[in-house]
Amino acid sequence: MNEAKNDLTNAVSNLDFETPERPYLDSNELIINMGPQHPATHGVLRVILKLDGEKVLGTECVIGYLHRGVEKIAENRTYTMFNPYVDRMDYVAAVSNGLGYCQAVEKLLAVEAPPRANYIRVILTELNRIASHQLWLGTHALDIGAMTPLFYTFRDREEILKIFEKYCGARLTTHAFRIGGLQYETYAGFEKDVKNFVAFVRPKIDEYEELLTGNRIWIERTKNVGVISAKDAIALGVTGPVLRASGVKWDLRKAQPYANYSEFDFDIPTGENGDTYDRYIVRMIEMRQSLRIIEQAVAGIPEGPIMAKVPKVIKPAVGEIYHSIEAPKGELGYFIVSDGSTQPYRVRVRPPSFVNLQALDIMVQGMLVADVVAVIGTLDIVLGEVDR
């Protein structure tokens, strides 16, 4: 108990807060512990806030409440055995995690997934991107006080999860991909389901926008809130929609195409101001672009095998590899070192949430408590991925 208290005071005293030129009312500065049990921190994030009234003077993120040692576990599992674990990092976008890991190992093994597998991978990943953005939208709107979008987005996300369930039996932590391709052939009617879903969800996205985009309160709450400049964003390594909203046109699907993204025609939305509203708009457009990709992919699924020739026991040659993909939240990278055995020597994950979370401090400087909640929401973090 005492130690925890000391921890807190140390953490607070180590904060490098900007002090005003004259120290006013020092005793009026509040130290508030937001989280880990707080409804708006999206899990178990703990943010120590130093407040002057309601103005935020500084923040300190305390993470690790959900640390499970995923990277360490990898060292004691074979490459195949570790595959399901990655789903547990960003459990909202489990398919993307799996894609990144499988492709990294494939790169290490120098095998290529067959085209049919790639098409299905793209479809599932983009579906998952929409699901992730829907979940983000619902919780973000809830943080800002609009209850209703949450239920709308969850209603529609359900359809995606149904497709996942039909495809691989799991809804959330899907474990959909295998190293070298897919384990399962698509079920009968997969294409029809996906096409139906695209037709179903298009008007629903309009519906979310109807509730929020032109809403005066929504605009007031999000415009010029949590602004981050392109320079700062790049310096901090921020990626994904957060970076693109600041005006940097950087999307790994275009910049260094993986799977077969180069075959599809889609746009990368960018914002201008780098504020919460732009991030919202960027994600809304991304959902529509994902639908475009899915439409193209589902129309062109080739026939063929779904697995490349991969040895039964995966034993990559000695070497290391870094492979990154564009997860819904940003650049998700896997750095794998192989010592030639069946188990990786070291796996290091570059999670987008963890890196993006660093931007919280500069985004909320001088803002109000309510904005902290909005900014945490707009960063779209998943604590499972931050803590791993």
Partner 1 sequence: MTPVATPFFFYMLSGFAILGGLLVITRKNAVHSALALIVTLLAVAGLYLMLYAPFVAGVQIIVYAGGIMVLFLFVIMLVSLERTVKERQFNRIWPIGLLASCALLALFLGVLAKGKTLFEGRPIPPLTESNNTQQIGLMLYGNYMFAFEIASLLLLVAILGAVIMAKKRI
Partner 2 sequence: MLESLKSFLEPSVARTPGEANNQLWALIYVLIIFAGVSVAVMAMNWLERKALAHFQVRLGPMRVGPHGLLQPIADAVKLLIKEDIIPSEADKFVFWIAPLIGLLAAFTVYTVVPFGPSQAVSDMNIGILFMLGVSSLAVLGVVMAGWASNSHYPLIGALRSSAQMVSYEVAMGLAVVSAILMTSLHGMGLYGVSKLSDGTGTLSMIGIVQAQQEQHVWFLFKFFPLGLIAFVIFAIAMIAETNRAPFDLPEAESELTAGFHTEYSGLRWSLFMLAEYAAMIAVSSIAVTLWLGGWLRPFPNLLAGSAWDFIFALFPGLTFLGLGAVAFLGTARMPKHPYFKIQTIGLAGFGVVLAGIGIILLAIPIAAKVSNHTLLNAATTTLLNVYWFVAKVAVFMYLYIWYRATWPRYRFDQLMRMGWKVMLPISLGVLIVTAIVGVLL
Partner 3 sequence: MTEIGTLHYLVVAAALFVLGVIGVLTRRNVVIVLMSIELILNAVNLNLVAFSRMWGNLHGQVFSIFIVVDAAAEAAVGLGILIAFFRNKETINVDEIDLLKW
CB nearer to partner 2: give 31 or 81: 31
Q: How far is the CB of 271 from partner 2 (least distance, A)?
A: 20
What are the CA-CA distances from residue 105 to residues 16, 124, 184, 310, 344 (Å)? 42, 19, 19, 11, 10
Which of these ranges, 22-30, 146-154, 196-204, 301-309, lies near partner 1 under the rule CB under 8 A?
22-30
The nearest distance, CB 60 to partner 1, in angstroms, is 23
Q: Which residues make up the interface to partner 3 (CB under 8 A)?
A: 24-25, 27
Using CB under 8 A, which of the segments 23-31, 43-51, 219-227, 229-237 binds partner 1? Answer: 23-31
Stretch that binds partner 1, among 25-33, 158-166, 207-215, 232-240 (CB under 8 A): 25-33
Size of the site for partner 1 (CB under 8 A): 4
Q: Measured from the CB of residue 130, what is the shortest distance to partner 3 in angstroms? A: 52
Give 29 or 75: the residue with its C-beta nearer to partner 1: 29
Q: Does 2 bind partner 1 (CB under 8 A)?
A: no
- CA dihedral sign, ordered 98, 179, 322, 79: positive
Least distance CB 137 / partner 2 (angstroms): 12
Cβ 32 to partner 3 shortest distance, Å: 21
Tell whether residue 24 is a contact of partner 1 (CB under 8 A).
Answer: yes
Of 13 and 27, nearer to partner 3 (C-beta) is 27
Query: Which of partner 2, partner 3, partner 1, none sits in contact with 218, Cβ below 5 to 8 A by type?
Result: partner 2
Q: How far is the CB of 292 from partner 1 (least distance, A)?
A: 52
Asked if residue 32 binds partner 1 (CB under 8 A), the reply is no
The contact set with partner 2 (CB under 8 A) reads 30, 32-33, 38-40, 54, 141-148, 150-152, 155, 211-212, 215, 217-218, 220-221, 368-371, 373
Asked whether the CA dihedral 68, 71, 76, 78 is positive or negative, the reply is positive
* 27 makes contact with partner 1 (CB under 8 A): yes
Q: Give least dist CB 55 to partner 3, A.
A: 16
Instruction: Select from partner 1, partner 3, partner 2, none the partner in contact with residue 54, using the beta carbon and a kind-dependent cut-off of 5 to 8 Å.
Output: partner 2
Residues that bind partner 1 (CB under 8 A): 24-25, 27-28
